[in-house]
Structures are given as structure tokens and as C-alpha cells.
Amino acid sequence: MIPKRLSIAMVTALLAACASLPVYNAPFADMDQNGDGVVEWHEFKTHFPEADPKVFLEADRNKNGEITPDEWQSFVDQ
Ligand SMILES: [Ca+2]
Ligand SMILES: [Ca+2]
């Protein structure tokens, strides 16, 4: 059981974090600038200049340095 005070603090921190983040819900094709079917870090960064590398790493589920449409969908839907 999480103490009530702690859970409220956690929710507040989470909301604050969400509010300060760019919205990562771009259509995959918009990010894949060279049309090779995957989004690499430089493409991601071009589309989201404020992007944190951690976000890219999180979206890159299998950590191969590229985001596939499936990985992106899974990231956006989470
Ligand atoms: Ca690409
Ligand atoms: Ca990947």
C-alpha cells in the first residue's frame, strides 16, 4: 500500500513532467525524412529539436538505433 501523501506527490510530479515535455505523437512518415522505413536519431532530433535522447532510446524498443513503425506505434500508444 502506497501512503496517500506519497501517491499524490507522485501524480503531481508526473503531471508536471508531462506538461513540460514536447508531444511525441507525430505520424511516423513525417519523421522518416529519407523514407527508408526507419527513424534514426538525427531524423528524430530534426523533427523534435527539443527531444531528449532518453525519449529516442525509450521508443527504440530493441535498442538497435532505429525506430520502426511498430516501435513508434507501441511508444505512442503506451
Ligand atoms: Ca529514415
Ligand atoms: Ca529499433
Predicted TM-score of the model (pTM): 0.71
Domains and CATH numbers, the chain: 24-77 (1.10.238.10)
41-60 average pLDDT score: 95
Report the separation in Å between the CA atom of 16 and the middle of ligand 2, taken as the mean of its atom positions.
Answer: 28
For ligand 1, the distance from its centroid to the CA atom of residue 4, given in whole angstroms, is: 45
In the 8-state DSSP scheme, what is residue 26? -
User: What pLDDT does residue 12 have?
Assistant: 73
Residue 19 pLDDT > 60: no
According to DSSP, the residues that pair with 66 across neighbouring strands are: 40
**Predicted confidence (pLDDT) at residue 10 exceeds the cutoff of 80:** no
Ligand 2 mean position, distance from CA 33 (Å): 17
Q: What angle do CA 56, 44, 22 make, to 5 degrees?
A: 75
**41 touches 49 (CB < 8 A):** no
pLDDT, tens digit, 9 for 90 and up, residues 51-76: 999 999 999 999 999 999 999 999 99
